[in-house]
Amino acid sequence: MTPYNAASWLVDRHLEEGRGGRLAVVAGPERLSYEALARLVRRAQHGLGALGVRPEERVAMVVRDEPGFLAWFLGCLRAGVVPVPLSTMLRGEELGAIVDDARARVAVLSAASLPLLPALAACAPDLAQVVVVGEPEGPLPVVPGVGLVSFDDLDDEDELPPSRTGRDSPAFWLYSSGTTGTPKGVMHRHGSLEATARTYAAEVLRIGPEDRCFSAAKLFFAFGLGNALTFPLSVGATTVLDPRPASPAMVAEVVARDQPTLFFGSPGLLAAMVAQEVDPRPFASVRLGATAGEALPAEVHRRFTERFGFPVLDGLGSTEALHIFLSNRPGAERPGTSGTPVPGYEVRLVDDEGRVVEEPGVPGNLQVAGPSIATGYWCRTEATQAAFEGRWLRTGDVYVRTEDGCYQFLGRTSDMIKAGGIWVSPAEVENVLLAQEAVAEAAVVGGRTPEGLEEVVAFVVPRPGVELDPVALEAHCRERMAAFKRPRRIVVVEELPKTATGKIQRYRLRQEANAPAASAPAGR
């Protein structure tokens, strides 16, 4: 095995080649050089040794977009340990179920996430140690059987060598609901990060050492991980981090203060920035924008670029592919399409019988092959076999190829919903709705906002003789699930449309959800 370690390529290489003094991280008032970042990575690597974590064991991370995320993600890679970044948007029980699935004995939590620890630990019986990043505002939670240690108290003096890894060694997992609704650990290799940097970042973004990258999409997403970690560190550039939830106001503040040159956001965020008429003047530093997570409607694309004055590249990626493999190009944007294959990747359309679709204009199921495709799902043999066909990945998307070679999104082959760029399982939301005593039946589908973005729409049937209050039901959902999963519209109906065999006809509900007067929105 030829030695190779992704963390060494992303950080150590710059020190060895004399770039240790370059600015690596901007996080509010905090500034870190590559030398300072390497010291944080070393501290995390020391901590893993002190906690007895062995190579290829998993370490769960519930860490916000702050230097501590880079330190622990890269520290794990350098130690040959498998970091598992998890969404900071999830509730404790949701996190605990994933930590349990990953069989992680150690977790790293931002101080802001400590209140989630009791519920998380209750669902993850193997959890034994938690490292706290940052200064807690209140008293530390006491969880029997789980020790707490501060990241600041760990040693960072002695230089440690990178673990004996290769390009195909296990590197990190990213959890995705994919197309089944059950969280799955997507397993990636050490070589996958460099592969995305040498393809999309180098060939499409043309990233260079003078760039500053700001990603509104967070680091725990595959999209954000590339934007804010892999891409800037691959060329000795700077990443701009902010732990706050993405919003038009937050984005405008960060851009005005830190002057990024590359900006990454979801289509929903871009639509909100246009709707709220964000001042375009601070965005003069941005040379290029990129978006992914769901298809960017052509009208939103037009309005955004007219207002802010820099090109936006819409593209398609996935957790399984690690980043974008279909993309528009600077100066050749085709609004309403995902562009063309990124150099290094192959895509094809196949029909339901598996035959390759050659003719333009004929819909097909999209498949992709390339250097960053995951090795499979952790302990999900059936799901792995359904998604991976040799070197090809079935994306679950239906596309059509235009006459000029661009790929246009038509829909998905499953009932999964992608709201705000994040997969949502209808079954999970339905289970929460059905836990409300007044609800007899529930069906959740994806509807479209006036801007063309996907949102969660719930159709509910009340129990006989019960008057169902949508506001109370929305409050019930607010208490029991993450914000991005909650229905944005709740429609009360007498019955759900079904087939002769009793299956819900979700296509009819989607048609109703997209009708002009489907329902008033639920509370946000």
Task: Note the pLDDT tens digit of each residue in 404-457.
Answer: 999 999 877 878 788 888 878 787 888 889 889 899 889 999 999 988 899 999
Per-range mean pLDDT, top range of 117-121, 139-143, 295-299: 117-121
pLDDT above 50 for 524: no
What CATH class has 417-513?
A: alpha beta
pLDDT band at 465 (very low <50, low <70, confident <90, very high): confident
The pLDDT value recorded for residue 79 is 98
How would you class 391 by CB atoms within 10 Å of its CB: exposed for 0-12, middle for 13-18, buried for 19 or more?
Answer: exposed
Q: Per residue in 249-293, pLDDT tens? A: 999 999 999 999 999 999 989 998 998 999 999 999 999 999 998
pTM given for the model: 0.88
In 3D space, the residue among 24, 12, 66 whose CA is nearest the CA of residue 239 turns out to be 24
How far is it, in rounded angstroms, from Cα 215 to Cα 91? Answer: 23
Q: How many Cα atoms occupy the beta-carbon half-sphere of 452 within 13 Å?
A: 15
**What sign results for the dihedral spanned by CA atoms 10, 12, 13, 17?**
positive
How far is it, in rounded angstroms, from Cα 503 to Cα 500? Answer: 7
Q: Which residue has the higher pLDDT, 520 or 407?
A: 407
In 3D space, the residue among 76, 91, 102, 17 whose CA is nearest the CA of residue 377 turns out to be 102
- 3-class SS of residue 422: strand
In 3D space, the residue among 467, 447, 452, 417 whose CA is nearest the CA of residue 521 turns out to be 447
Residue linked to tokens 């059950």: 182
pLDDT band at 516 (very low <50, low <70, confident <90, very high): low
Residue linked to tokens 């038509």: 410
- 3-class SS of residue 299: helix
Per-range mean pLDDT, top range of 119-128, 155-164, 492-501: 119-128
The identity of residue 177, as a single letter, is S
Residue linked to tokens 């819900």: 504
Q: Per residue in 143-159, pLDDT tens? A: 999 999 999 999 877 88
Instruction: Tell me the mean pLDDT in the region 484-497.
Output: 92
Q: Where are the domains of the chain?
A: 417-513
Residue positions counted in the chain: 524
The identity of residue 325, as a single letter, is F
The pLDDT value recorded for residue 410 is 85
The pLDDT value recorded for residue 519 is 47
pLDDT band at 517 (very low <50, low <70, confident <90, very high): low
The pLDDT value recorded for residue 323 is 98
How far is it, in rounded angstroms, from Cα 305 to Cα 312? Answer: 7
The average confidence (pLDDT) of the chain is 93
pLDDT above 70 for 499: no
CB atoms within 10 A of CB 333: 18
In 81-116, which positions are buried (b, 16+ CB within 10 angstroms) versus exposed (e)?
bbbbbbbbbbbbebbbbbbbbbebbbbbbbbbbbeb
Q: What is the DSSP letter of 460?
A: E
- As a whole-number percent, the residues of the chain with pLDDT over 90 amount to 78
The pLDDT value recorded for residue 250 is 97
Is 98 in contact with 59 (CB distance < 8 Å)? no
Tokens of 240: 């701009």
Task: Taking each helix axis as running N to C, give the angle between helix 470-480 and helix 426-434, from 0 to 180 degrees, rounded to the nearest 10.
Answer: 120
Chain centroid, CA 356 distance in Å: 30
Interior angle at CA 342, CA 340 and CA 344, nearest 5: 135
Q: How many Cα atoms occupy the beta-carbon half-sphere of 242 within 13 Å?
A: 20
Q: Per residue in 284-337, pLDDT tens? A: 999 999 999 888 888 889 999 999 999 999 999 999 999 999 999 999 999 999
The pLDDT value recorded for residue 178 is 47
How far is it, in rounded angstroms, from Cα 199 to Cα 211? Answer: 17
In 3D space, the residue among 116, 40, 110, 112 whose CA is nearest the CA of residue 76 turns out to be 40
pLDDT band at 520 (very low <50, low <70, confident <90, very high): very low
| DSSP states along 90-131 | S-HHHHHHHHHHHT-SEEEEEGGGGGGHHHHHHT-TT--EEE
pLDDT above 60 for 521: no
- Lowest mean pLDDT, pick from 179-193, 304-318, 374-388: 179-193
- What is the rounded (10 degree) CA torsion for 434, 438, 439, 445? -90
In 3D space, the residue among 292, 341, 346 whose CA is nearest the CA of residue 314 turns out to be 292
Residue linked to tokens 């799902």: 377
Interior angle at CA 269, CA 519 and CA 209, nearest 5: 165
The identity of residue 500, as a single letter, is A
Phi/psi for 133 (5° steps) reads: -100, 120
Instruction: Tell me the mean pLDDT in the region 96-103.
Output: 97
pLDDT band at 78 (very low <50, low <70, confident <90, very high): very high
The pLDDT value recorded for residue 419 is 86
Tokens of 162: 């990178």
Q: Per residue in 221-253, pLDDT tens? A: 999 999 999 999 999 999 999 999 999 999 999
In 3D space, the residue among 312, 306, 339, 305 whose CA is nearest the CA of residue 325 turns out to be 339
Q: What is the 3-class SS of 489-516, one letter each residue?
A: EEEECCCCCECCCCCECHHHHHHHHCCC
Q: Per residue in 4-27, pLDDT tens? A: 999 999 999 999 999 999 999 999
Tokens of 234: 């691959």
